[in-house]
Structure 1
Amino acid sequence: MIQGSALCFVLLSLGVDMQGDAVPICAPGHAGCHSLSLADLFDRVVQHSARIHRLSSDLHTDFEQYFPLSKNLIGERKCHTSGIQTPNGKDIAQSLTREELTEVILRLLAAWGDPLSYLHHIMAPQQDFNMHSASKALQMSDMVQQLRSGVQRVAERMQLLGMISNSLSSLFSPEVLDPPSPKTFISSDHDLLYCLRRDTDKVQSYLKILRCTILSEQAC
């Protein structure tokens, strides 16, 4: 778990206050405002997405070590995010409009809040599973919500600068998504952790591509 000053640092670095509200975007020097350039905002969300992907990879590795997947269970992975149309490859991602790519990122992030809480709820009672590893799922649930708030702030800044339209506003409100229905502890959670690692890698890659399309000085 992220504690104390460390949590505060992560929240502030993404432009989110301790109540989870976006810090208002305003003119530099305005009282009560925390103003960052668009480049700085992009740097923070990209860095935070990298942390999340590292944690998701660690959690997947930990789980595979404690609960090796039987060969007869290995097959096509079933992801609850399969209904979200994501670009397959860098070239296709670069061909999307800024609005489309931002929407894909926000939808992927919105889809992982409940499943991560579910994973922690299922893993915590498992006596054979490392408790430090189990807590990563709950930690990541908070971090994903922070990243979503950070990406929303980036989108709001781009809207203010006229770089994208206002068509993304409906994605800023909380979405209630049902957690995946557990089949068995091993089979369903192996898929969840595989899909989490895959989706966090996608989010990180899409954010880098979006940054490149917005900030011409960034190498794509």
Structure 2
Amino acid sequence: MPGNIRSVSVAWAVLVLCSRLSSTGAAPICTNGQAGCHVLSLANLFDRVIQHSARMHGISNDLHSKFREELTEVILKLLVAWRDPLWHFHQSMAHHHDFNNFSSNKALEMSDMVHELRKGVERVAEKMQMLGIISNSVSSQASPEALLPSDSAEWRLMKDYDLLYCFRRDSNKVQNYLKILKCRIVPEHGC
């Protein structure tokens, strides 16, 4: 008897869910213009909840794909945005007599590393596009000219210390965003 009660309660829960589904766009439970409603079969009820579940999965899949694209785009924008400031920082270090060659070389190394990292992330994005993980819109939006601020004079006015602080913060963001992106796309590889 407990098994029968459980079956009835599951069927009742499915029926309640389906009646809610019918008010949200699923086919109505009352069919053929009949005056009274009839109880659908368990198979029909399952069909309705499966259809609703498929729609829900489709929406979540669309959002998940959009998240990957936007995260890739943010990473590329951060890397492109640092191109000019780091070059100006290197120039500033090279012309300051207070700093030694070590500081100037480190500034140049940071600038080169950002350039190389951006190229690497662009390759990752191309591979993701080729595999159908993200759309082709990311690469068209990631062109350096489109992503750089129109007035780069403000970067020259930034104090070196502030620039280094901001770069350190953004480089940490890029690293974390890349880790998140990797875990979302290839979770079986160390996440």
TM-score range, shorter chain: 0.5 to 0.7
Instruction: Report what 2:134 is aligned to.
Output: 164
1:100 equivalent to 2:65? Answer no
> Cα gap change, 1:140/1:159 in structure 2, threshold over 3 Å: closer, same or farther?
same
Matched, 1:135 2:115: no
Identity, in percent, stands at 60
Q: Which residue of 2 aligns with 1:31?
A: none
RMSD: 2.2
Report whether the alignment pairs 1:153 with 2:130: no
Instruction: Describe the shift of the 1:179–1:108 C-alpha distance in structure 2 as closer, same or farther (beyond 3 A).
Output: farther
AA at the equivalent of 1:159: Q
- 1:209 matched to 2:180? The reply is yes
Mark the structure with the bigger radius of gyration. 2
Paired residues for 1:7-156 under 5 Å: 97-156=67-126
Aligned with 2:154 (options 180, 203, 206): 180
What is aligned with 1:189?
160
Deviation of 1:180 (Å): 3.0
Matched to 2:120, the amino acid is G
Q: Deviations over 1:29-71 (max 9, x none)?
A: xxxxxxxxxxxxxxxxxxxxxxxxxxxxxxxxxxxxxxxxxxx
- Checking the alignment, whether the CA contact within 8 Å between 1:114 and 1:179 is kept in structure 2 is no
Change (3 A) 1:145 1:181: closer
Question: How many Å separate the matches in 2 of 1:107 and 1:181?
Answer: 16
- Which is richer in helix? 2
* CA contact 1:115–1:179 (8 Å) conserved in 2: no
Point out where structure 2 has 5 or more consecutive residues left out of the alignment.
1-63
TM-score by length of 2: 0.59
Aligned residue-pair number: 124
Structure 1 unmatched ranges of 5 or more: 1-93
